[in-house]
Amino acid sequence: MSQNSPIQMDFNLGKFADAVAGRLLSWKRDSITAAIWSRDFRVWSESHQPEITDRLGWLDLPEKMGEHVGEIQRIADQIRAEEIRYVVLLGMGGSSLAAEVFHGVFGKQPEYPELFVLDTTHPAEIKQIEGSLDLERTLFIVASKSGTTQETMALFRYFFQKLGERLPNPGCRFVAITDPQTPLAELARTNGFKHLFLTPPDVGGRYSALSHFGLVPAALVGIDIATLLERAARSAASCKPEVAVENNPGLYLGATLVELALKGCDKVTFVTDTAFEPFPDWIEQLIAESTGKDGKGIVPITHESLGEPAEYTQDRLLAGISLANATTNMLQEKLRHFSQARFPVFHLCLADGYDLGGHMFVWEFAIAVASAALGVNPFSQPDVQLAKDMARKAIAGGSFAMTIEDEINLPAATGIVKTALGQLLSSARPGDYFTIQAFLPRSDTILSHLQTLRQRVRNRFRLATALGFGPRFLHSSGQLHKGGPNTGIFLQLVDEPTVDLAIPQSTLTFGNLIRAQAIGDYLALKERSRRILRMNLGSDPVSSLQSLINAI
């Protein structure tokens, strides 16, 4: 990469370097950069598809969103003046992940509200976050591109009712982010929301980090969104047709990802320093939902503790992300250790948190062009709907409490856990990966146990491992699980919540909803002939998780 690039990227690809160079040469001959910037649908499809031509607005976001900075900042200043202490973002997937990354990297800014991202339907987690708030000094952001996202709207109704019990005009504590003419836009107008932000309709959810979905929450908690967009604009310029392909960071990264994936090295394993630990969560959705379809895909591996090279198989690409300071040297040393063991590696170095704007654009460009080489449409999500339909059927039929035939109930069935896990994991083939799908409340203790479980699986079976909390992961990696290659081995974990919460204007509770979502995804995976084991951890998931760890 050129030293003049706004993105610092170092690649050590070993035997794959020639293939990446060949891919870049072929893209140069095909003028692919010019085709992308001219919105030529033939980059991804032989036939015209609105799902492509109507989803390329992300290319212009670094420039066009500058027109909205003043409006966003004005609302942020109003919120700060009203001494709002908390901002709660109600959103799923692309509507929440960028904001979560920004807040996680920058941390709480002095004299600005604290941000909570609520992207769960587990009643225990909802209740825990509610208990952390002073509701009368809390602003809720309702974020949904379609304006109909089931989880988001259920959470809105719950908290709108709670505020209605305390304030004569609860709408004054709500802000909406959605496309024009959606049900959420009408809801915001009808209920007197403090503000309605209308997003560009030609930007898909996972490409919306630099739109209102990412920028409004960032501004509300004190992040300088003008600087984020400035860094993004510099990166966008470096991906333009007039830049030589070998100096185009989006093309170079995209060529690396796709060439290695096509040659069996499809597990992009992220290693970060503490400063950028949240960033791979956003990248995970971008990769998994964009590439994971038609039996193809690149598998992102995030938050997996780094082991020794001997514990890994040769289907790994190591991706380092770090801050440009002394910490970089430590991460570089770790990556060098893997490179010496003949693993391909690359390292992204960010000057500060505001470089996220530039790196997000480069990743979007890279995944768009890598998807073209894979032969998939990065802007569609055909298999996400299947799990939603299955969940709706469970709700409509009142079967959200149905018994899955081969479900293992803990702690009663502790004796057969080892056998069941052994049977599941013995099905592993070279190139497979193992995923824990945890429809559980997120807590430090539960997360620690799940991380221990996946580490033991990796060390014993030398499998790449992933972890997703449901229903959050349904909006990030769920498309890959069902539409990507049949290389996933899935362990679905559910519990029996000891508390439940009614969903206003519905006969359902949040406990009913999360059970239906878990059942829906289980049945969808079964329909796609995926290998999956479901375990019910009962009312004490922490103890049951310890039993699972002991069984590995």
19 CB burial (10 A radius; 0-12, 13-18, 19+):
middle
* pLDDT band, very low/low/confident/very high, at 6 (cuts 50, 70, 90): confident
- Please count the CA atoms within 13 angstroms of the CA of 230 that sit on its side-chain side: 6
Contact 113, 218 (CB under 8 A): no
The pLDDT value recorded for residue 229 is 98
What is the C-alpha to C-alpha distance for residues 206 and 274, in angstroms, rounded to an integer?
24
Contact 334, 309 (CB under 8 A): no
With vertex at residue 170, the alpha carbon angle to CA 167 and CA 172, rounded to the nearest 5 degrees, is: 115
Contact 461, 431 (CB under 8 A): no
* pLDDT band, very low/low/confident/very high, at 362 (cuts 50, 70, 90): very high
The pLDDT value recorded for residue 326 is 60
What is the C-alpha to C-alpha distance for residues 305 and 270, in angstroms, rounded to an integer?
10
Q: What proportion of the chain, given as a percentage, has pLDDT over 70?
A: 97
Which tens digit of pLDDT belongs to each residue from 309-361?
999 999 999 999 999 876 567 888 899 999 999 999 999 999 999 999 999 99
Q: Where are the alpha helices (DSSP H) in 310-413?
A: 326-340, 355-374, 384-396
The pLDDT value recorded for residue 1 is 57
Higher pLDDT pick, 51 / 143: 143
Q: What is the largest CA-CA distance in the chain?
A: 67
Q: Where in the chain is the domain with CATH 3.40.50.10490?
A: 8-31+241-374, 60-229, 384-551
Contact 133, 163 (CB under 8 A): no
Which tens digit of pLDDT belongs to each residue from 451-493?
999 999 999 999 999 999 999 999 999 999 999 999 999 999 9
- Please count the CA atoms within 13 angstroms of the CA of 79 that sit on its side-chain side: 35
What is the C-alpha to C-alpha distance for residues 366 and 36, in angstroms, rounded to an integer?
11
Residue 402 has pLDDT above 80, yes or no: no
Which tens digit of pLDDT belongs to each residue from 178-218?
999 999 999 999 999 999 999 999 999 999 999 999 999 99
- Per the rule left: phi > 0, alpha: psi between -120 and 50, beta: everything else, 169 is beta
Residue-by-residue DSSP string for 198-254: EPPTTS-GGG-TTSHHHHHHHHHTT--HHHHHHHHHHHHHHTSTTS-GGG-HHHHHH
Quick one: tokens of 412? 């009663």
What is the C-alpha to C-alpha distance for residues 141 and 159, in angstroms, rounded to an integer?
11
Residue 412 has pLDDT above 80, yes or no: no
CATH of 384-551, one of 3.40.640.10, 3.30.450.20, 3.40.50.10490, 3.40.50.300: 3.40.50.10490
* pLDDT band, very low/low/confident/very high, at 516 (cuts 50, 70, 90): very high
Which tens digit of pLDDT belongs to each residue from 161-182?
999 999 999 999 999 999 999 9
Q: Cβ neighbours of residue 378 under 8 Å, at least 6 residues apart?
A: 44, 290, 291, 367, 368, 371, 372
Strands 8-12, 345-350: pairing is antiparallel
The pLDDT value recorded for residue 403 is 67
Dihedral sign computed on CA atoms, order 23, 429, 318, 359? positive
Bridge partners, 108 (sequence order): none
**Identity of the residue numbered 208:** S
* pLDDT band, very low/low/confident/very high, at 393 (cuts 50, 70, 90): confident
Mean pLDDT over 133-142 rounds to: 97
**If we measure between CA atoms, which residue out of 286, 358, 361, 277 comes closest to residue 323?**
277
- Please count the CA atoms within 13 angstroms of the CA of 376 that sit on its side-chain side: 28
- SS3 of 429-481: the string is CCCCEEEEEEECCCCHHHHHHHHHHHHHHHHHHCCEEEEEECCHHHHCCHHHH
Quick one: tokens of 330? 């430590």
- CATH number, span 60-229: 3.40.50.10490
The pLDDT value recorded for residue 80 is 94
**If we measure between CA atoms, which residue out of 367, 392, 388, 193 comes closest to residue 297?**
367
Residue 302 has pLDDT above 80, yes or no: yes
* Average pLDDT of the chain to the nearest whole number: 94
* pLDDT band, very low/low/confident/very high, at 132 (cuts 50, 70, 90): very high
* pLDDT band, very low/low/confident/very high, at 139 (cuts 50, 70, 90): very high
Residue 258 has pLDDT above 60, yes or no: yes
- CATH number, span 8-31+241-374: 3.40.50.10490
The pLDDT value recorded for residue 3 is 55
Quick one: tokens of 164? 């209605």
The pLDDT value recorded for residue 415 is 78
- SS3 of 3-67: the string is CCCCCEEEEECHHHHHHHHHHHHHHHHHCHHHHHHCCCHHHCCCCCCHHHHCCCHHHHHHHHHHH
The pLDDT value recorded for residue 338 is 96
